Amino acid sequence: MTANLIDFQHPTEARRWRAINDDVMGGVSRGGLHVEDGVGVFRGETSLENNGGFASVRRESEAMDPSHAPGLVLRVRGDGRRYQLRLRTDELFDGGAYRALFQPPAGEWQCVALPWHAFEAVFRGRQLEDAPPLDPAALRQVGLLIADRRPGPFRLELAWVGRMDG
């Protein structure tokens, strides 16, 4: 049993997410998040043109404190592509994030458990060697990102994000 931190059954959840795609650096990938039947749908199309290749959505954490849990759990249905759950804190400089990779099989609902030690500090896709470990009590932002170096459409359905049971 998990305690949901983010639940797309909540009527205002979709409005809390904003898209940040590779067009910020000249790319042409598109992506965004909307709700279908109480499920968040992160979808779009990645393109490698103009040195692009990523699409993402982010949400402020709003007093979300999962620090007493050993990690997070996502209830997802994917398309076989690899995604990242990205967490931001004030511990890293602007643009840095902690990421955990996951690749749910196409078309199957599953729960993906991501313990805190699975998150690595990164900046623009490169690991930050001297970064402090993730402090879940300092969580400021949650995001999803696709940057698997494969052009084409993507679709990740997200029912909820919750605390991992200890």
Residue 70: its pLDDT value, please?
Answer: 95
Dist CA 3 CA 161 (whole Å): 8
Residues of the chain with pLDDT under 70: 1-3, 63
> pTM here?
0.94
| Residue 64 tokens, joined | 């979300």
Residue 1: its pLDDT value, please?
Answer: 42
Residue 105: its pLDDT value, please?
Answer: 93
159: containing domain: 4-163
The number of domains in the chain is 1
In angstroms, the Cα distances linking 101 to 28, 38, 87, 117 are: 23, 24, 12, 12
Length of the chain in terms of residues written: 166
In angstroms, the Cα distances linking 7 to 12, 126, 154 are: 10, 30, 21
Residue 55: its pLDDT value, please?
Answer: 97
Is residue 17 within 8 Å of residue 59, measured between CB atoms? yes
CATH assignment of the domain containing 128: 2.60.120.430
